[in-house]
Amino acid sequence: MKTNKQNPDFLHIGKKLLYWYNFHGRDLPFRKTQNPYNIWICEIVFQQTRIQQGLSHYNRFIERFPDVKTLSESNLDEVLLYWKGLGYYSRAINIHKASQQIMTDFKGEFPENYDDILKLKGVGKYTAAAISSICFGKQIPAVDGNFYRVLSRLFADDFDISNHKANEYFSELAFRMMPENSAGTFNQAMMDLGSEICKPKNPLCEKCPLSNDCLAFSLSKVSLFPVKTKKVKIENLQLKYYFVAFENQFLIRRRQDDFIWKNLYEFPTEIPEKFEHLISKTTILKHKLTHKNLEITIDSVSLPSKSDFEKFAEEGNFLVTDFENSHGKSFPKPLENYILNRFSD
């Protein structure tokens, strides 16, 4: 569909959306502030997490790290610990690095300019636009999956959302709907409409404030939008670990800053051949990531002496921990569950 830049109904639809949001917008704690730090953290937290699931994590994170300075000066281990339960730990690593960027590059003040916000580690176009519009009143659409879905259905627009120009295309479309000096409110209204009403499956069209304007609804083709032709290939990966223990202690080390689970803790991935006969139990775990299916094999190895255990730790640069102290470290979810199950037996 080719949109008409001069269509006067665009702005009318935007005003209807704001009217609906005024009465039906979600009452969320981070909407009571325009503090860019708080908005930034909430946007990162809720990138891959539903609000109902992530709200307590957001509140706890903000309580412990109330500002950029506190976050930047904190140990990464503690930041990761407070991120536990949210998954996608690279987000926590990025906000820690970004907080240090703000301290060094912007003298501790959160940048107001969209392009400067975009320079922060882990911040993409959507997050930069959300912060710019909500906190600084910049007239920029914060286009995400909700925008794609609402706008595609509203105009029965078959522009492929997997196209690399989708953000630019739908940003232009949203901009024509956005009433002047209301970008922050408009963006939040679109988020609420997309997540609460115009859902990916089983949308509540009968409750939608824009149903009379929705072309896909009038054509009974809501389920056909948005259009996405490019499918993400799911990769199958196999991982191998050894749970090396002596009495109630075991060995761990931090993963490198690459691949999946960067900077989280893991078990040894290999052992000397002389210890292979000590493998007592093999556990196979299945775990799904966004674009990966993991099969994780963990062999349990109990070393016969403390000296062997300490030598293994020293030579492999491993940390020695136990069940209680492991709570202070962040592990990938399947390894965390393995530890819990191991010590609950």
> Which positions are annotated as active-site residues?
43
DSSP secondary structure of 157-173: ----TTSTTHHHHHHHH
Which single residue is written with the structure tokens 């400067």? 116
- C-alpha to C-alpha distance for 310 and 342, rounded to whole angstroms: 21
Query: Could you tell me if 334 and 263 are in contact, meaning their C-beta atoms sit under 8 angstroms apart?
Result: no
Residue 285, classed as helix, strand or coil, is strand
- In terms of Cα–Cα distance, which of 70, 119, 111 is closest to 94? 119
What residues contact 327, with CB distance under 8 A and at least 6 apart? none
- C-alpha to C-alpha distance for 309 and 278, rounded to whole angstroms: 13
Beta strands in 61-209 (DSSP E): none
Structural Rg of the chain based on CA atoms: 24
Q: How far apart are the first and last CA of the chain?
A: 61
